[in-house]
């Protein structure tokens, strides 16, 4: 919802398709069911969708079948229930758009790709760098080695997993995928690096005690204290200052502007905001305290009485005006 990706699925089709076009057509039909359901939910909460929901498909034949209301020899054997996608397109609820196979990163999950293409998509998903960063941290912990602060930071912002989340989000929410943007993702653009660094530093700041109890030595504060010989308090001040600098660098990247669509940059900024909300009062992920619990309850469970609040505010203003 908004700039957040929250619904996805990967499952085996229940029917056997006689062609790749038919398989894509059936998949598009199933996705249409999910899309219409989500549109109904948004309408129920007062967010009716005026424009058609865009769906991407990398098979032109499947798109042609969906847009052609005529039944012919190629489609008459397809179950009738799958043809309702045509009604959804005609009613303006769904719009099918073509996506080139070279940009279809999802193929890594479903096809036996050539080595070069597989490696390319894997890099795009960020898995290779993430696994390497996990391996490096495991090596440090196993050997009881404390890296330098710079070595730790260069590895830690990737091991935060934020980069993988953002790369996946880019391909999910971007309508026009550009080579320039992919190149920037591959080379760790600032809009990717700084939110992830903020996430990692907030996490390290709040989980230091728990990590030391577990015997983990790779933490931003411990690395800084080991390298400089300063106290935990001064190390904390340095980390806080570094977080502020990362926010400034991220804002600078937004002004540039970056080669990404606005909905993706919003997701990147939201990642940093979530990190602040999650770790501002301790570790709200692993061991949430009272403040963190109350925040979650207030956002998700406790209803907001907007109408009543507005009426009370109006009454108070009228009383003040009358008394004056």
| Least confident window among 63-67, 189-193, 293-297 | 293-297
Question: What whole-number distance in Å separates Cα of residue 35 and Cα of residue 18?
Answer: 25
Residue keyed to tokens 């397809």: 78
Residue 258's region, left for phi above 0, alpha for psi from -120 to 50, else beta, is beta
The model carries a pTM of: 0.61
Which residues belong to CATH 1.10.600.10 in the chain?
126-301
Q: pLDDT value at position 227?
A: 92
Q: pLDDT value at position 50?
A: 85
Q: pLDDT value at position 91?
A: 87
- DSSP secondary structure string, 169-235? HHHHH-SS--HHHHHHHHTT-HHHHHHHHHHHHHHHHHHHHHHHHTT----HHHHHHHHH---HHHH
Query: What is the residue-averaged pLDDT of the chain?
Result: 81
Q: What is the pLDDT of residues 126-164, one digit of tens each?
A: 677 888 888 898 898 888 888 999 999 999 999 998 888
Q: What percent of the chain has pLDDT over 70?
A: 83
Residue 324 has pLDDT above 70, yes or no: no
Joined tokens for residue 324:
């004056």
Q: What percent of the chain has pLDDT over 90?
A: 16
Residue 213 has pLDDT above 70, yes or no: yes
Q: What is the pLDDT of residues 22-73, one digit of tens each?
A: 788 888 888 888 888 888 888 887 778 888 888 888 888 888 888 877 666 6
Question: What whole-number distance in Å separates Cα of residue 59 and Cα of residue 66?
Answer: 11
Question: What whole-number distance in Å separates Cα of residue 188 and Cα of residue 15?
Answer: 42
Residue 291 has pLDDT above 70, yes or no: yes
Fold of domain 126-301: Farnesyl Diphosphate Synthase (1.10.600)
Instruction: Quickly state the pLDDT bin for 194 (edges 50, 70, 90).
Output: very high
């Amino acid at each position: 919802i908004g700039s957040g990706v929250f619904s996805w699925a990967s499952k085996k089709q229940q029917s056997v398709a006689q062609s790749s076009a038919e398989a894509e057509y059936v998949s598009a039909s199933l996705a249409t069911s999910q899309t219409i359901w989500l549109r109904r939910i948004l309408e129920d909460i007062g967010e009716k969708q005026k424009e058609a929901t865009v769906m991407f498909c990398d098979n032109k034949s499947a798109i042609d079948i969906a847009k052609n209301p005529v039944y012919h020899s190629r489609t008459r054997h397809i179950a009738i229930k799958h043809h309702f996608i045509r009604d959804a397109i005609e009613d303006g609820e769904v719009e099918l758009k073509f996506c080139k196979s070279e940009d279809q990163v999802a193929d890594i999950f479903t096809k036996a790709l050539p080595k070069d293409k597989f490696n390319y998509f894997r890099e795009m998903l960020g898995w290779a760098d993430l696994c390497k960063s996990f391996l490096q941290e495991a090596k440090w912990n196993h050997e009881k080695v404390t890296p330098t602060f710079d070595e730790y930071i260069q590895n830690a912002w990737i091991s935060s997993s934020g980069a993988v989340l953002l790369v996946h989000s880019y391909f999910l929410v971007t309508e026009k995928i550009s080579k320039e943007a992919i190149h920037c993702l591959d080379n760790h653009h600032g809009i990717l690096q700084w939110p992830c660094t903020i996430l990692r530093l907030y996490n390290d700041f709040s989980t230091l005690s728990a990590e030391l109890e577990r015997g983990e030595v790779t933490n931003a504060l411990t690395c800084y204290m080991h390298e400089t010989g300063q106290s935990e308090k001064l190390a904390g001040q340095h980390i806080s200052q570094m977080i502020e600098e990362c926010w400034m660098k991220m804002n600078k990247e937004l002004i540039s502007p970056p080669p990404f669509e606005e909905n993706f940059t919003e997701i990147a900024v939201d990642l940093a905001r979530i990190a602040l909300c999650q770790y501002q009062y301790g570790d709200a992920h692993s061991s949430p305290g009272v403040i963190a619990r109350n925040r979650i309850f207030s956002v998700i469970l406790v209803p907001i009485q907007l109408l009543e609040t507005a009426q009370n505010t109006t009454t108070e203003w009228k009383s003040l005006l009358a008394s004056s």
